[in-house]
Structure 1
Amino acid sequence: MLRLAKSPSLAFPLMISQKMEAVVSGKKRIVNLDLSSRLLSEPLIPGLSDDVAKLCLALVPRSSLPSMGRICKKWRYVVQSKEFITVRRLAGMPEEWLYVLTMDAGGKESHWEVIDCLGHKLSSLPPMPGPVKTGFKVVVVDGKLLVIAGCAMISGSHVASSDVYQFDTCLNSWSRLADLKEARYDFACAEVNGLVYVVGGHGGDGESLSSSEVYDPETGVWTFIQSLRRRDGDVSLAASTGSSM
């Protein structure tokens, strides 16, 4: 259910600042962004501590986050971060949206649409890079959509893909991530504890695959893991709340 924060009082940032201290002042992850030490030392909002400034930025409506990310590099860094999602949740501003992939009548073009939790269509996403594909998978990691692999029709032939694209839901933009080690489609896929697993599926010649891979968003690298005991193109994954699938 969509939770809307009531108009906050001036004391609101102070009311939850202690709760946020472990989040915004704890260990910092190394993020692959080109930020100089001078830029990192500059305040987010002059006159405010960065902890309080992050709480202020977290109260900005989600629809305005792409514009906020264009203000300066440091604001963009904050909006892209996993920490910012946590800050917004604790501030009562999760604003959960539903992303729906639709196809045209001829099945030749597709586009993503955004719907809020009240069922209102908000907008369409920028076109997804690459050719139209089937048999791909979509997972959500740290508030970002990952569209993984699939099968495309190229020059009249079905071609398995290893492409991986990421949509940043805060910045409203697509980027390309590292390719899978092995092209595949109609595979099983799940996110567990921040890692993305792909298992089985079909390869370039339509053959069943037994290989499995895992993606770590922290390093941006796909790694082969233990394969299935037998080749099986029809495999499913179910993620649990623990550490196993």
Structure 2
Amino acid sequence: MSNPYSTATPEYTTPTSSASPTATGVQSLHPYNHHDAEEHLYHPHPLLPGLPDHVAQLCLSLVPPSLLFSICHSWRRLIYSPSFPPFLSLYALFLPTGIQSHLSNSVHFSSFDPILCKWLPLPHPPPRRFLFRHPSFVSRKFPIQAVVVSGNLIVLAATSDQFRPALSQPLVFNSLSQKWTHGPPLSAPRRWCVAGTCRGVVYVASGIGSHYDNDVARSVEKWDLSVQRHHQHRRRWRWEKIGSLRDCKFSREAIDAVGWKGKLCMVNVKGAASKQGIIYDVERRVGGVVENEKLRGAQQVAAAGGRVCVLCADGGSIAVVDVAAVPPARLWTVEAPAGVQAVGIHILPRLSHSDS
């Protein structure tokens, strides 16, 4: 498949319309229903002459979306419909830049469409006041922690303007329904914690609540989103306590836990400070300590679909590496919209919208 990204500064637009989903929130985790395609799209002509549209969709789903987009309008509409398997897009959390940027905490989420080469704003989440900068702490940025699982962007932790945890329960954005919902209440709202996913399950560990608590700083909890999928008529979302860390060394910073072969890999601090790493086995619920002077914590990296996206230091651009390509790997950049800088990146299925 050819590279759909462009190194040119992308356009920033609003989607022309939103498709009507068949389910909302985290419940939109079902397989794509190809037989209901005609309920979502109006085709003045058959997708493929001589074939029913739902059969034509099965055939066209084997073709790269960038090629379908270049053929005809009906196929353009098709690749953005809720019934068609979505391609992956880059999602980012942005803050304004400029003279007063150090005083602004107006954050917003956007999605970069690699075929249209446009940044598309996400619907605004439920009102929350997230603190990212504060004039009394010039050198410190207050992190907004989010993870991606099963097509959902989940905001887990942030700081309020009262220097307390901003979220008592996660904010969940589903890329298919394009709606925000709330996840289950956390047993202890926290910030500066460990956040990660492994095998479709969300994990949080350590952190600080409204005040320091030793039990919270050592705790490990999980949220299995598939439980809601299997019990859609009963609200069964919940956080489950699964163990404790050996010490409280992971409550100093916002830490990304990387899921790998049933294990969560994490490093307790960033920068040049002395580090401690843990490999936590989510099945056995035990962690092994890794101590090495060469430990390096990756910052703002997202990977999916054979591509690795790295947020550049100034937040003005995002480097994309095609690691699935024949060596040498190809690299290009996606520029942030004018007037904003990215402070977090993720990869999810594209937004659904109609072609103008």
- Taking the aligned partners of 2:110 and 2:218, their CA distance within structure 1 comes to 34
Contact kept in structure 2, 1:198 and 1:213, CA below 8 Å: yes
Contact kept in structure 2, 1:190 and 1:237, CA below 8 Å: yes
Gaps of 5+ in 1: 5-30, 34-42, 70-78, 89-93
Name the structure 2 match of 1:244: 263
Task: String of CA shifts for 1:48-89, please: whole Å, max 9, x gaps.
Answer: 697x477379579799689845xxxxxxxxx5xxxx7xxx3x
The one-letter code matched in structure 2 to 1:95 is: F
Contact kept in structure 1, 2:197 and 2:257, CA below 8 Å: no
Contact kept in structure 1, 2:113 and 2:120, CA below 8 Å: no
Alignment of 1:161-172 (within 5 A): 161-172=167-178
- Taking the aligned partners of 1:237 and 1:135, their CA distance within structure 2 comes to 11
Report the TM-score, using the length of structure 2 for normalisation.
Answer: 0.44
Over the aligned positions, Cα root-mean-square deviation in angstroms equals 3.7
Contact kept in structure 2, 1:150 and 1:162, CA below 8 Å: no
Name the structure 2 match of 1:55: 58
Secondary structure at the residue paired with 1:191? strand
Tell me which of the two structures has the higher relative contact order, counting C-alpha pairs closer than 8 angstroms and 6 or more residues apart.
Answer: 2
- Identity, in percent, stands at 25
The one-letter code matched in structure 1 to 2:248 is: R
How many residues are paired up?
Answer: 187
Specify which structure has the higher proportion of helix.
Answer: 1
Secondary structure at the residue paired with 1:201? coil
**Does 1:210 pair with 2:218?**
yes
Report the TM-score, using the length of structure 1 for normalisation.
Answer: 0.62
Secondary structure at the residue paired with 2:180? strand
Alignment of 1:1-40 (within 5 A): none
Name the structure 2 match of 1:159: 164
Contact kept in structure 2, 1:2 and 1:96, CA below 8 Å: no
Alignment of 1:61-72 (within 5 A): 68-69=81-82
Name the structure 1 match of 2:335: none
Name the structure 2 match of 1:234: 252
Sort the Cα spacing of 1:223 and 1:123 in 2 relative to 1 into closer, same or farther, 3 A.
same
Contact kept in structure 1, 2:197 and 2:259, CA below 8 Å: no
Alpha-carbon shift at residue 152 of structure 1 (Å): 1.0
Alpha-carbon shift at residue 185 of structure 1 (Å): 0.4
- Taking the aligned partners of 1:65 and 1:185, their CA distance within structure 2 comes to 41
- Taking the aligned partners of 1:145 and 1:63, their CA distance within structure 2 comes to 25
Sort the Cα spacing of 1:63 and 1:195 in 2 relative to 1 into closer, same or farther, 3 A.
farther
Task: String of CA shifts for 1:160-209, please: whole Å, max 9, x gaps.
Answer: 13221111112222111112121100111111011111111111114561
**Does 1:225 pair with 2:225?**
no
